[in-house]
Chain A
């Protein structure tokens, strides 16, 4: 297979009125998020819906979502540079950028939700290495540095090229460690029955692929659309199928997570609470995570008739993000809402809410802080794309696949499908 055409990358126009309007909108959300964080720190966390029972709220949902999405957004780059799929090569820079931006947004929310964000320097200099959280501080900051280096190796072609392979491999392994570490934040909680499981690590890896790819696709499609860059069917269908596959993989781990818990007698109460409690968590699980966030996108992504259909891909991506946020909400907040079992066999009550389901209603500042993280991500992407060359001028079929290799594969696939269809006896 020969693909020797050089890819031409170009910045987006950073001086157009549309660009400024976009920047202004993002800036407004970022300002609201930062203002919300200031408000929360100034008044204390009692202005949030969080309490001593639900200690992590919506900010953690956004933070965890964005941090693991960062890992998944880098997947496209890994496929191109670690697994040498040349088709994805033109997307590597963009993939690295979205990953970096998503990580920045997630970390911003995580840090600003601390009780003492002013002590960030303590978190960066004082470590307890028995804590997976401390390891994650290294994993998060490390990924920043590694992606930056990886991007440099892609973009500084003369000096960087010889580091490209090793940077790509390091980034690939590092992000697997990062998502393992993030999943283990929950997996290592011995007393919380909803969490304490090794499956949290691979589950989070699979979730990262889903969230990251959905964000990446939305940014890719909208950028191409807004800057009049052709986006061909070949790239679209490949990414579409990939999204379908990672969604199936995630669904498999979700099944594993809940079925193993249902099998253990001591964990049945918490599972029944989350899945069949008739509460916000069971609604979010069945309606948003499973129906809207898994089944519907799978139809949109894997149905042969919708191959390469931009609207289907955009809708699927949006649904995957909404479903993903619901999934993280159920994991983080649902897992805390179920009361800890201090005295099994007794009916427990106290003035401090023992034995009661934790009540949590997110407040506006929390949501704004979370949205501020999303704005941070988008802001980094938009500013970086105007400053440096991240996206090719064309992703049209003829440019990404000048030898029509993938065209031929597609045609063969279609021929096989048609032949199969004819083989199926029609019953009248």
Chain B
């Protein structure tokens, strides 16, 4: 292992072993949060958390906080049909392979075409980072969990590959790794026999970067930000225009919003 970073207590640790290392308590348990975010935060360079004079992420020695709820806005009216830049960016960032088209291929984010009598819309669908995620409820070991800042993740250390979360997810957002994988990224440990899905690029978010899909989108169809901050672009956009979420009737309160549907 050549990729090392500072561990929770300051000693060098292999990055794979830190990124999603958690304790199995409930998702919002402070100690778990501490371990997690410490791990996530330590993988990144410190001191970049101030943008425009306002703290966005958090210092490395602090856990993620409930005061932040990360969210994503998809503007379907800007999303171009036939464009798959967001999907490609995600695939490159996280190293999930497969050219697509095989039902066993992982698919963290996918472009979906919607057609009704009057029009066709194209938009990406990924993990919706619910406030009440069914995948977290059903996971027998607690491997599916929700960070305090709203990001839903899978702890690959305790996922037993039962796939019950995939049965429970209303958005078909999760993938099971069906075969051996190569070319893994140091920040994104993956493994055959475990379930995975969009992490909202937690590793990037924790160092004040945008998720890879948002950064790549040339059509400005994706807006990422803190839903709890009324000054944030995403909150402003949501305040100014009507939006919807996928299957709002299920009351999962997703962190991903859609406009232009």
Contact = CB atoms under 8 A, between A and B. Distances in A.
A32 interface: no
Contacts of B161: 114-116, 119
A69 B1 CA distance: 48
A44 B137 contact: no
A16 interface: no
B167 A192 contact: yes
Given A56-B163, A346-B115, A354-B112, 19 more contacts: A45-B178, A52-B107, A52-B175, A55-B167, A115-B159, A115-B161, A115-B193, A116-B159, A116-B160, A126-B158, A128-B24, A128-B26, A132-B138, A192-B167, A342-B112, A342-B170, A349-B112, A350-B113, A350-B125
Interface stretch (B2-10, B96-104, B210-218, B222-230): B96-104
13 contacts: A44-B178, A45-B176, A46-B178, A52-B166, A52-B176, A56-B163, A114-B161, A119-B161, A123-B160, A123-B162, A128-B136, A133-B138, A354-B110
B179 interface: yes
Nearest to A60: B163
Interface string A110-148: 000011110110110011101111101100000000000
Q: Which 5 A-B pairs have the closest CB atoms?
A: A115-B161, A115-B193, A191-B170, A51-B103, A133-B140
A133 B177 CA distance: 21
A286 to B, nearest CB: 26
A346 B117 CA distance: 9
Given A44-B192, A342-B171, A126 B141 contact: yes
Contact of B111 (A116, A119, A123, A350): A350
B172 interface: yes
B100 A352 contact: yes
A336 interface: yes
Contact of A127 (B142, B171, B178, B194): B142
A127 B23 CA distance: 11
A359 interface: yes
Query: Considering residues B116, B161, B179, which has the most beta carbons from chain A within 10 angstroms of its beta carbon?
Result: B161
Contacts of A349: 112-113, 115
Contacts of A119: 158-161
A117 B110 CA distance: 29
A212 B108 CA distance: 41
A134 B246 CA distance: 28
B167 A189 contact: yes
B160 A128 contact: no
A188 interface: yes
A359 B101 CA distance: 13
A351 interface: yes
A343 B261 CA distance: 10
Interface in B172-187: 172, 174-180
Interface residues of B, number: 55
A185 interface: yes
Contact of B24 (A115, A126, A359): A126
A264 to B, nearest CB: 13
B116 A131 contact: no
Contacts of B100: 351-352
B201 interface: no
Contact of A55 (B115, B121, B176): B176
B112 A348 contact: yes
Contacts of B114: 343, 346-348
Given A116-B194, A126-B142, A347 B115 contact: yes
A289 B187 CA distance: 50
Nearest to A342: B246
B56 interface: no
Interface string B12-26: 000000000000101
Interface in A342-391: 342-343, 345-354, 358-359
Contacts of A347: 114-116
B111 A351 contact: yes
A352 to B, nearest CB: 4
B247 interface: yes
A52 B106 CA distance: 8
Contacts, number: 178
Interface string B178-207: 111000000000001111000000000000
Contact of A342 (B104, B159, B164, B247): B247
A61 to B, nearest CB: 14
A386 B104 CA distance: 45
B250 interface: yes
Nearest to A130: B137
A179 interface: no
B131 interface: no
B68 interface: no
B238 interface: no
A185 B163 CA distance: 12
Interface in A300-353: 336, 340-343, 345-353
Contacts of B171: 340, 342
A158 interface: no
Interface in B138-162: 138-142, 158-162
Contacts of B160: 114-117, 119-120, 122-123
Contact of B140 (A50, A127, A353): A127
B116 A340 contact: no
